[in-house]
A and B are shown apart, each in its own frame.
Chain A
């Protein structure tokens, strides 16, 4: 049941450049999307979210873009810093169905090289 997919298991980016992490979903009832960052031996840490009524949300170095027609979202980190090296999870939920459970993608391991 792959309702949320992150097709790139890993991504390597040079410090200072832009990191772009991608996520696709299949369930058209999803209407709220979140990105989490996870370091080893820690829980997921919330980064940024977007509602389906928007197509972009920005918070400092992090921007999330949502393309509803393509059922695709992406997280842009610019400029990338060494501390951004972590596993990034895309997650979705359906507010309209009253569902609060987060459905996660498999994660993308981002490595920022100095």
Chain B
């Protein structure tokens, strides 16, 4: 069964450094998402991406964040200058709305900012 994959599984970085989190969505899906879950809190929407542009973003997704689909398979989330409060699990998800509204999630990347 096709699945969403994410790399790395765990990323440790120092405050102020740039990080890129990578996702490979399910191949025939058209919409892509990033969510995050800070430890002990709920899963929060960050951004949705369709047709090579952002279709919706939350207030969390400020100028420090960017997304890109550099080729036909990868979908990346970049944090330009990490802060301690960016430490969280980051989940990528994808969907084909023509089929359903159920978003399929990857296993997540645990980002630790020290």
Contact = CB atoms under 8 A, between A and B. Distances in A.
Given A42-B107, A43-B6, A99-B56, 8 more contacts: A43-B4, A43-B106, A43-B107, A89-B42, A91-B43, A100-B101, A102-B45, A105-B42
Given A101-B48, A101-B58, A107-B42, A46 B4 contact: no
B108 A103 contact: no
A103 B106 contact: no
Given A101-B45, A101-B56, A42 B108 contact: yes
15 contacts: A34-B101, A34-B103, A41-B108, A43-B105, A91-B43, A99-B56, A100-B33, A100-B55, A100-B101, A101-B45, A101-B48, A101-B56, A102-B35, A104-B42, A106-B42
Interface residues of A, number: 23
Contacts, number: 61
- Interface size on B, as a range, is 20 to 34
Contact of A102 (B41, B97, B103, B108): B103
Interface of A: 32, 34, 36, 41-46, 49, 89, 91, 93, 95, 99-107
